Structure 1
């Protein structure tokens, strides 16, 4: 196939409501869409880096630089037969995983469209539908949290994730559990705690949590192993896992019982598949986390979740959970906690060009005449 143009599209979408985590309140989202244009199709990838380096070290600005100066020239200077090859091709360039994932994701989408197959089929997915949960930010009060939870329980979401932070944790979790004794519920700390909080986490053992996500430092696997040995609740690692090697070390140390797979955090769909396969061989379940993606990133999440070891509901809620209008057609919808996988070629959702133009804040085009086998 021939790639004749690459487009880097900066965008901004305003959230329907502020989303609060332990590291701040988010009211809108700056992000980038990567487009790979061939003679016949356009492949779309979404970069999950944000305006500030709060979740990870990358930002929309750093991603743009790395794509323009390093990754796109590398792609265009090499012969590629399959999207998996990009994983090795980009390996000499350290980190910058979100930038890598955005370009690789666009290539995967284009590859699947050129082959006239769905992205989940191209990835080797085995499911026709996936179970999903919802992530709820820190609320002003227990009453408002209970109302929020009740709405999503009534909609049929299969798991409720509650963001926590020091001072907004045990009392809120206990309140939700009292009202909803049987729901699948988990806590996400986003690295806000230390080993000094072991007694707090021991108290959480009484709440029958599905997991506690990333309670300790964002780059740690040692202290998490100590904490996991002291509590019964399963620890899930998120920010600590950037590669297959990270996953191997964390599992060997006993740092977690579950891993959250985010495509952007690990550097793309190929690395996510590798981690999925290894975890499956070790009996460690995985699930797909969310980064407040638009419909394009959401579609990639849906596709990867079709792999068999994604046995826990992920964070891929309906488009309407976050956005007044998403940039794809049709928008992602959830029926009683289930998303049916699309069967049309590529990501399975058509970008809404008019809405993409509406929310575009900057655009760059790179013209190429590179032909791939």
Structure 2
């Protein structure tokens, strides 16, 4: 059995350097849940539940995730005879949905297991790359010229733009003035409808890296229709919440690539299943971001070390968002790449003092089985 003594769940408030604006919501303070999984030998595994305070991205929030962890997921886990973190996904099948809450505890258990094995989590999950290519996201509130020039100096391999419908061409052409030939994509955030099909097709001449999630999250059909008629890659994000969603997307030709987020799909085991489907189908993947602390960012970088993650992910360095991260050695981007941690587990040291200072509330759950 996997040695698990206690789980601590903290709600942490992290003030962003500047507000992050998308067409769906504005984030000024990042409320997130940090999950700590302790064993009897003093090892601790860390996970992060990446739900936002408000339900603008998914139905989950920090409040719903808190309650799910406290009253459902941890009690279900406590009744199990867990041998390996790969079993957590199956154990949680009795609870419908709530992938972000599930991912928060599942990723903490993977970190704990790797530390018990005295191995890096990259090695445990079969990661291939020692460093991964990083892209950066520019929000609607960013100074496009200033930020584009600044991030170009760091060598970011891809720029993702948050855009307003009808102003995509204007924004993209302006960005190109400052970043040159670096690939550009934009995030549709599911705001387009069938009536926008011609409008989107008319953007094909911009030679974009991809268009991410143009249509609503439950749509496979119109993504398939657009994918057929454009040379530009069509990428799915919110549509893929499970390995079955990924299978459908591949079988229905609804996408050229998939953005995989640990929180959105429920953790590593589902992400690994998606990775294996994509490998068979020769579909490239990339790892998306959710304004994570250094804990969630470490998990993302490790996920992106898998072979099929062939496109630059949203893996910008810690100082992009935080004056002070809650890890001692924040992630840095050098020549557009981030090094994959090699120390046991997720390979980062959490600054407990800083974590305590940013903790709004917490609860402890003793594991008795």
* Fold equivalence (TM over 0.5): yes
Cα distance between partner residues in 1 of 2:361 and 2:345: 25
Query: Residue 69 of structure 2 contacts residue 101 of structure 2 at CA under 8 Å; is this kept in 1?
Result: yes
Q: Which residue of structure 2 aligns with residue 183 of structure 1?
A: 182
Task: Report the count of equivalent residues.
Answer: 367
- TM-score, normalised to structure 1, is 0.96
Q: Which residue of structure 2 aligns with residue 197 of structure 1?
A: 196
Change (3 A) 1:333 1:179: closer
- Cα deviation for residue 54 of structure 1 reads 0.9
Q: Give the match's secondary structure for 1:11.
A: strand
- Cα deviation for residue 39 of structure 1 reads 2.1
Q: Deviations over 1:34-66 (max 9, x none)?
A: 111112201111000011111111111111111
- Cα deviation for residue 238 of structure 1 reads 0.2
Which piece of structure 1 moves more, 216-225 or 278-287? 216-225
- Cα deviation for residue 126 of structure 1 reads 1.2
Q: Which residue of structure 1 aligns with residue 292 of structure 2?
A: 293
Cα distance between partner residues in 2 of 1:244 and 1:37: 29
Cα distance between partner residues in 1 of 2:78 and 2:345: 21
Q: Give the match's secondary structure for 2:46.
A: strand
- Cα deviation for residue 128 of structure 1 reads 1.0
Q: Deviations over 1:142-186 (max 9, x none)?
A: xx3122111111111111111112143221112223444411111
Q: Give the match's secondary structure for 1:350.
A: coil
Q: Which residue of structure 1 aligns with residue 76 of structure 2?
A: 74
Q: Which residue of structure 2 aligns with residue 344 of structure 1?
A: 343
Query: Residue 177 of structure 1 contacts residue 207 of structure 1 at CA under 8 Å; is this kept in 2?
Result: no
- Cα deviation for residue 190 of structure 1 reads 0.7
* 1:112 partnered with 2:114: yes
- TM-score, normalised to structure 2, is 0.97
Cα distance between partner residues in 1 of 2:356 and 2:28: 21
Cα distance between partner residues in 2 of 1:283 and 1:6: 39
* 1:280 partnered with 2:279: yes
- Cα deviation for residue 32 of structure 1 reads 0.4
Cα distance between partner residues in 2 of 1:317 and 1:133: 6
Change (3 A) 1:110 1:178: same
Over aligned residues, Cα RMSD in angstroms? Answer: 1.3
Q: Give the match's secondary structure for 1:133.
A: strand
Correspondences of 1:186-335 after superposition (within 5 Å): 186-335=185-334
Query: Residue 2 of structure 1 contacts residue 369 of structure 1 at CA under 8 Å; is this kept in 2?
Result: no
Query: Residue 165 of structure 1 contacts residue 192 of structure 1 at CA under 8 Å; is this kept in 2?
Result: no
- Cα deviation for residue 295 of structure 1 reads 0.4
Q: Could you list the runs of 5+ residues in structure 2 that have no partner in the other structure?
A: none
Q: Give the match's secondary structure for 2:314.
A: coil
Q: Could you list the runs of 5+ residues in structure 1 that have no partner in the other structure?
A: none
Q: Which residue of structure 2 aligns with residue 52 of structure 1?
A: 54
Query: Residue 195 of structure 1 contacts residue 227 of structure 1 at CA under 8 Å; is this kept in 2?
Result: no
Change (3 A) 1:180 1:330: closer
Cα distance between partner residues in 1 of 2:7 and 2:109: 11
- Cα deviation for residue 369 of structure 1 reads 4.0
* 1:6 partnered with 2:28: no
Cα distance between partner residues in 2 of 1:252 and 1:164: 30
Q: Give the match's secondary structure for 1:362.
A: strand
Q: Give the match's secondary structure for 1:63.
A: helix
- Cα deviation for residue 199 of structure 1 reads 2.6
